[in-house]
Chain A
Amino acid sequence: MSEARDSGAAIGRSVPRPRADRLLAGQGRFTDDISLPRMVHAAFLRSPHPHARIRSIDVAAAAQAPGVVRVVTGAEIAAQCKPYAGLHQLFSGMRVPDQVPMAVDVARWQGEPVAVVVAVSRAQAEDAVELIAVDWEPLASVVDPRAGAAPDAPVIHAALGTNVAYDGTVAHGDIDATLTAAAIIVEGDFTFGRHTGVCLETRSILADYRASDETLTVYESHQCPAQQQDIFARLLGLADNKVRVVCPDVGGAFGIKQQLYGDELAVCILSRLLRRPVKFVADRLESFTSDIHAREHRVKARLAVSADGRLLGLDVDDWFGIGAYSQYPRSSIGEGSHVLRITGAAYDLAAYRARMRMVLQNKNMVGHYRSVGHPIAIAVAETLIDDAARKLGIDPVEIRRRNYIAEAGYPHASHGGFVFEQLSLHACLDKIVALMDLPRLRREQDESRRKGVYLGIGLASFVELTGTGPDYYGKGEVRVSAQDGCMVKLEPSGKIRCFSSVTDQGQGVDTAIGQIVADMVGVPFDDVAVFSGDTEVSPYGGGAWASRGASMGGEAAVRAGRALRENILAVAGCVLQARPDELAIEQGAVVNAGDRRIRMTLAEVARIGYFRQDLLPAGMQPELSVVRHYVPHGRTFVATNGIQGSLVEVDPDTGFIRLLRHFVVHDGGTMINPMLVEEQIRGGVVQGLGAALYEEINYGTDGELTTGTMADYLVPMAFEMPDIDIGHVSVPLSGSELGAKGVGEAGTAGASAAVINAVNDALAPFDAHLTQLPMSPERVLRALRKIA
């Protein structure tokens, strides 16, 4: 490690992203920027009903429409591929339905693709979609998860015999006895609205099947190209060495470009059927109806507390609605699993019980969105802790400090079944108190209250699971790779080309990988060009998910960079008649390990390695390209932690909430690029603040989607966002070379919980309290009893 730092120290610097210049110059190349000869466009007819039988589909008129190449129904598509199911074997008793790309016989959510038109232009395809006649027989739908679990509820998938896809409990200690004996119990009934990722670039795919050699090339806006290669090959019966998935520039992903979508698989099938390239780019309405949703939970929870503010036990009951299917391949259980296992994870609880019921509904699928499940678990625990503090007259800072996992208590076996090697909860708390200048804020709050201005201050501690290891999906028999790889190559000029299996959707991970490679090889950062997102040339790996790009992909880059350095020094040693350990590489040149005198440039090493092998001893084989991989053995997740603080002003007459300031202190271990870390945290916070106040996908009582446009789904914009101050505590991850932990989702994890606590703090003088997100003005006024 020290060797790496000494060599050039790109690691730890706020290097700007090379990719950003290109994107700002309008030279990004997204999937929709790619056009191929003979390419045609797909548009889908989607079910207008939440639940309906398809009596018949008449495509005759559509097939005759101008520009139409082919009209295909769900049944024809299903005949062209194997079914799949989003199952996770770690969760025994989980029951999920088989899926095919489009609805066959029955449509089970509004927006499910039913038929598809392929035409010369997208506009013509949309024209023809309007001419498809479907004879629908609407069926009763399941909307609310609890109603869906009732014995008389309509069963969405007859083969399962129930809508309850999972019912599981995690227990530790004797929660019933603890609740009986506790001095006080605080309880809450929490409702969380559905969200989605809202990427600037909507889902896009261009599939190109070449019949002559049975080769499928897919350009796709996706986070995980290797996973898609594996899926397309298996489901379509193709050889995976003839399936290439390319993810060019991707305009945001946030977890919603991490799974298999039926419409995208259908596009691959259409290309094979038609032997033409087929493109599909989701429009914004399709994005709201069919992009993965998240966070529909109803949680009842009770917290047992002693008279002196000791947290004794927590009892959690979560109803989790996942829509009509379980997302593939990861399954939809991740959110619920996290609610089961990390609610209250920052605290030492003697008794804990959590039950989670995952229920199928006639709504779009729920899956993974930034900070999977964490915002739910954190909001539940942190709200109850503040309620307890208020009831007992204890300061919110103090009640947290009293109850965190003890400093001396690591490694800590958590009540949810994980081992936390080392957290920095106390240090983060101390730091945020200073960052916020809490005593001053409390004084300001008192003074403004006297003037009729209601400020609120909220804190939310969090423990976050990042960097998923092989013990989660591996043991769950889910084909999601916990490994990542990195290829580095010395170019003839002495510069470095790097290909990483981790992918970049705008977060800047390729910059971090470049910094690591630069230091490990010993070249300036500008001499490293990083590429990713093409299975044709990429080492195998999981891609971008679980905040693991820099921490896990970075470890592969460390190993690859070091191996290349050793190989370069082996060649240089032959030329310079020196032992490799007498040499080092610095700023792109081979130097003496002792006096750092330059001996030869890397360009000279490359010239000899590639063009003048005659100068090398017989048998010396220069290896100036290397590939290395990394998998985090022995871990289910890498646990990180942090705390967020929120300052709000609530207008008790209108119910409007103004976000005044937001604060984060986070432990991401070693920071490879502090600027990227902070902007990742800020971006995540904004999505968390959207959850707190604005974003919600609504369905009507029968399951009809009522949030179809950006005017209905309110994403926060610059005007609504406060300044976000960030502080760091850096406890390096043990057992890793870099010591980096996940940061990409930390901002989202705790932001909404901090805002709920701030709002409830502001409303405390009115004896008003909220437990529903988002906190719309209407809900605030209702809590204030100003409207019914």
Chain B
Amino acid sequence: MSAPAPHASLRGVTRIYPGKSPVHALGPLDLDLQRGEFFSVVGPSGCGKSTLLDVLAGLNPPSAGTVSFEGKPVTSVPDGVGVVFQEDASFPWLTVADNVAFGLRRAGVDAAEIARRVDYAVGFMGLAAFAGAYPAQLSGGMRQRVCIARTLVMQPRLILLDEPFGALDQQTRLLMGDELLRLWRETGATVLLITHALDEAAMLSDRVGVMSARPGCFIDLVDTGWDRDRDSRIVSDPSFGALTGRLWGSLRQESMRAIGRG
């Protein structure tokens, strides 16, 4: 029996930023994401993690190689792909409910359906009591939940997250990780998470890709072996430490290189 076709894949992808001194940011690299998989990418600072996400999202075309999603080549942001960015990307002039409804309104979805989906997404992210609030009235973690709800409401089949919890404290990050796992289980979406936190990658993922210093390529792909119904309590599992240790073992030399000590 042949292996299932990947949900999204990159083949020989390279990204070079042109200029007086061209910057070779990424690749060449290959990656296959299986449907419904939770895949995290870790790597040293400046290794091209965010470039990888932009290329996969169709926000940044590769200099060479091919990107495909559901069997079709990616040339711009494809239907069915949602992105959550690291920075606060909520619209400060819109209420939480209007932020979440933004994409649906632009897509011409009818009002009753918008109301239904917004209610669900706002409730799912624990923001029901704040539907009429403006982002400035919310904490950083809540604003990021607004952005996740805005992505979730579009019912994406591939969710790309670029260090979404980078600005949050450790406790909030663990809890947000639980929310993300619940979202992943309930939607069945494929998730690619970019993170600099090894524990976050180890806790959330089915597989973790470790990238080299720039130009970023995968130097290790680690299967975590967790059950699908895991949550943040696995940080106390004895194998969690070994897993984080393995990731650091792969990454340490590259991180040294990235800061010029390799």
Q: Do A and B bind each other?
A: no
Residues of B bordering A, CB below 8 Å: none
Residues of A bordering B, CB below 8 Å: none
